[in-house]
Amino acid sequence: MPILNLKLAVTEKSPTRAQLEACQHWIFLLAGTLTVAEIMALPFGRELMQRHREMAKRVKETDPVTLDLPNKQSSRVAFASPVPGISAFNLLELARKLTAVHAQTPSTRLGLLVYGFAPKAAERMAEGLVAAVWAAAAPMPSFKQDAPPGPGWRQVSLYGIKPRDGFRRTRAEAEGNAVARSFSMLPSNLLNPGRYVKEARQLAREHGWRFEFLDLSTLRRRKAGAFLAVAQGSAARDAGIVHLRYRPKSGNPRRSLALVGKGICYDTGGVNLKSARHMFGMHEDMQGSAVALGTLIALTQCRANYSIDCYLAIAMNEIGSRAYKPNDVITAMDGTTIEIVDTDAEGRLVLADALALACGRKPGLIIDYATLTGDCTRALGNGYSGVFTNREPYLPLLIAAGKDSGERVWPFPMDADYDRHLESRIADIKQCAIKDGTDHILAARFLQRFVKHDIAWVHVDLSAGNHKGGLAHVPTDVTGFGIRFTLNLLLDKKIL
């Protein structure tokens, strides 16, 4: 499991010349309003002044500048001068680029300086830097014999600010994101459903969660026909739904939350077989469950005062003599009959029964995560993820949480007249429509049918789950998108 074995030391003072010379790698965020005297007060102020003037002429605030100091260590400084009102996304992007300057060095020490900003802006700048450093430092799976060295940092020293909580929440988010990315990168021969369940059980032990696994026999007794239809194509009988329970150690939580994630460890498309181009990378189709798991880790480490139930719908979507087929009629756990249209739309089926399970406990809010539809990616690209909800007043909160966290989302309509595309002549509902174009909306309308008891619900279609070159503060193609967004939504926007 990824462990952020990285110590963070913070001080309000600026580094001395001796401290600057003792460390070879530095990142500076300098306010654009600094006077000559303020810059000259820093060690190597003359050299910084020259580069600071060059940087002021640049148009893009997301481009770092580098400077090799004339000292014995040849210390390298990557620095930038973002405006105080820089968006969260652009700040995190800048922090990722600054961090990348030093990412391929074996050095165990990294210095950070935030200088010249007002206190509130300085803390925001520092948080973005720390988030990017922790994202870069998290070890990710690699099977190369000659893998390039990753960051060897063991000690990060932050100068110029003393945060109130030592960035405890930022670290919790980074830990959750590291787990989500690491699991999502593993190939399906190493993270099949059986192995995934074992990893979830081990995490439950480490974090003090109650663990329950609803295997195929249990799901058959519970009449979870939507999930079972997807799982039946696999020769291995290791699929099932993992249920993790977190309860705060103190307090009397009145609020309850359910997290639900799509965990398809590999998606061939089933009988509606994907082409080679579209099948490659489908080991990442379990990223929704990994994000739900990572979110639970982050909330646990933040000691959130909610009761949280997390459901991971873990299976393979494979092709074989037992695989389900178009025109099959199956029955979900809540009794809904479903006409199968496309076996490559399996995610909404496993989520349907997982949502039905989650509703049984009547939580105050359900959030589900899934790499669900290509149409959402075609609509938004992979810099945003799509969000859907059965509570229209939530829409401004969802957008604001995306902007403030740097994990941007955009809502789509959920009007009832879309349901005409899901009408079936033989069953209660069609799984999807034949034509593409609005499948992300139809998938959300399908899922909403399984959200009972008028429970508040948010669905996140992870079109930003993979972004070439990284996204915001995350340096890998697999982004683990959704954890910072969710914590902002819960802890800052108080949606629950």
Catalytic residue numbers, as ranges: 274, 348
E strand residue ranges, 384-485: 385-389, 409-411, 429-430, 456-461
- Report which of 176, 456, 450, 436 is spatially closest to residue 313, judged by C-alpha positions: 450
Q: How far apart are CA 288 and CA 273, in angstroms?
A: 22
Backbone angles phi, psi at 474, to 5 degrees: -90, 125
Across the strands, what pairs with 385? Answer: 409
Alpha-carbon torsion, ordered 258, 460, 176, 278, to 10 deg: 130
- d(C-alpha 136, C-alpha 150), whole Å: 8
Q: At 334, which helix (H) or strand (E)? A: none
Which alpha helices (H) appear in 101-213, and where do they start and end?
119-137, 168-185, 193-207
What DSSP state is assigned to residue 59? S
- Give whole-number Cα distances, 292 to 131, 145, 312, 343, 410, in Å: 19, 32, 8, 24, 19
Which CA distances in Å does 19 have to 48, 166, 264, 297?
16, 21, 49, 35
